Amino acid sequence: MGERDWRPFIYGGVASCVAEFGTFPIDTTKTRLQIQGQKLDKNHANLKYRGMVDCFIKIAKQEGFSSLYSGIWPAVLRQATYGTIKFGTYYTLKRILVSYNNGKESVTVNVGCGIVAGAISSAIANPTDVLKVRMQVAGINGNTNIGLINCFRDVYTHEGISGLWRGVNPTAQRAAVIAAIELPVYDFCKNHLMNLLGDKATNHFISSLIASLGSAVGSTPIDVVRTRLMNQRKLKRSGGPLPPFVYEGTLDCFVQTYRNEGFWAFYRGFVPTLFRMGPWNIIFFLTYEQLKKFY
């Protein structure tokens, strides 16, 4: 695979888009669960959703099944950029560094490659992430027909170009954590299971499942903060975020969430995160490995 540098980028982008289509409704439930419960005081209102299944059923019944796919196009656009850059950068960097190490892989090198690939790719693709989150939560206020162009126009008109990079810091941090755990763990498991299972789908399935668990545990707290910051509107003319969800930045969101909702608020949406990451990674890595073999 190393003789053509473009292959990891193309394979990564295609496999990411396929995985996104297959798991997007779970991501919508995760986003809805993460934004509920935000208050500046401790007088919490009743939560609308009681869990992933309850959220899934209520969205389908009250807003229509299509609402579970609200935001799918910016999500696919995100994967076409983020997935392409992330996986292409990771495997290209790893190949270069491993060649300097006489062909021997190192966990430290793999983690470093994952951090670099995750942070850079997510920062570039951040605007598509903002649009996806805004479209996913629009149905809460009864706006189930918002489109990609209208959503982009609304953000850009009222919040400026900076609105498209809302939450970029936690997004880059989250992506770095996910890539630093997910990709090295997958490669580690795959290599160690090679003698037992060979380079087959069973190996890819088990390795991707293990990688998903680790990345879900490590990334969910950052993902909660990222989602809340992205959902917060900050108008150009007023110069500040709209109430009632006023966060001054990543650290302030961490502090307020912990103070008002407790530690476990950082794992709100963990179940759909895990249920999404598992199938997403399975679909991705199976597709990725088959593309490698096909070509």
CATH number, residue 182: 1.50.40.10
Q: Total domain count for the chain?
A: 1
The confidence band for 138, taking pLDDT boundaries of 50, 70 and 90, is: confident
What was the pLDDT predicted at 41?
A: 40
Residue with tokens 């490590």: 218
pLDDT value at 242 more than 70: no
- Is 1 among the domain residues? no
Range of the domain at 26: 6-294
pLDDT value at 17 more than 90: yes
What was the pLDDT predicted at 42?
A: 46
Helix axes 201-231, 250-261, angle to 10 degrees: 90
- Which residues, 6+ apart, have CB-to-CB distance to 73 below 8 Å? 148
Distance of CA 175 to the CA centre of its chain: 7
What was the pLDDT predicted at 15?
A: 92
Phi, psi of 51 (to 5 degrees): 160, 180
- Is 244 among the domain residues? yes
Q: CA dist 4 to 10, 120, 184, 241, Å?
A: 11, 22, 22, 47
The token pair that represents 291 in the structure block: 């593309």
Which of 31-45, 56-70, 243-257 has maximum average pLDDT? Answer: 56-70
pLDDT value at 40 more than 50: no
What was the pLDDT predicted at 120?
A: 94
The confidence band for 118, taking pLDDT boundaries of 50, 70 and 90, is: very high
The confidence band for 208, taking pLDDT boundaries of 50, 70 and 90, is: very high
Distance CA 106, CA 2 (A): 18
Nearest to residue 268, comparing CAs of 25, 40, 48, 9?
48
For 172, other C-beta atoms within 10 Å of its C-beta total 21
